[in-house]
């Protein structure tokens, strides 16, 4: 033998699977607000996109949870423009102080 130790295939597969699970869990964790329980029982003023209506979206990320991709079915209308969010808790936070977030939104930059 050449002095090298072979890494068992089963061990390699287990380590790879564990890393894949960790990556998936980390991604889901980043898409949720830290304190979601304070949103329970409140109307979030969320409208759904009607079927068949074309969606023109310039906004790519949530203004509340910066960096999280938007869900084009979660939005509020503010000053005649749609503002999109990543999860159901974000619209309420936006509506508490919309001017705090408007500067981050491409639809209000014109």
Three-state SS annotation for 78-99: ECCEEEEECCCCHHHHHHHCCH
pLDDT at position 71: 95
Q: Are 93 and 34 in contact (CB under 8 A)?
A: no
Of the CA atoms within 13 Å of residue 46, those in its CB half-sphere come to 19
User: 89 is written with which tokens?
Assistant: 């808790």
Q: Is the pLDDT of residue 6 over 60?
A: yes
What does pLDDT average to over the chain?
73
The pLDDT of 42-57, averaged and rounded, is 57
pLDDT band at 8 (very low <50, low <70, confident <90, very high): confident
Which is higher by pLDDT, 14 or 78? 78
The model's pTM is 0.50
Asked if the model's pLDDT at residue 27 lies above 50, the reply is no
What is the average pLDDT across 68-90?
95
Alpha-helical (H) ranges within the chain are: 9-30, 90-96, 99-102
CA pair distance 70, 81, nearest whole angstrom: 15
User: What mean pLDDT comes out for the span 30-48?
Assistant: 49
Q: Which is more confidently placed, 37 or 58?
A: 58
pLDDT score, position 12: 61
């Amino acid at each position: 033998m050449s002095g090298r130790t072979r890494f068992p295939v089963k061990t390699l597969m287990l380590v790879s699977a564990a890393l894949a699970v960790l990556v998936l869990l980390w991604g889901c964790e980043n898409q949720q607000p830290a304190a979601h329980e304070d949103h329970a029982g409140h109307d979030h003023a969320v409208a759904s996109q009607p079927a068949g209506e074309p969606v023109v979206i310039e906004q790519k990320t949530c203004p509340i949870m910066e960096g999280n991709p938007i869900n084009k079915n979660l939005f509020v209308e503010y000053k005649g423009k749609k503002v999109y969010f990543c999860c159901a808790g974000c619209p309420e936070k936006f509506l508490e102080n919309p001017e705090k977030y408007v500067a981050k939104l491409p639809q209000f930059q014109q």
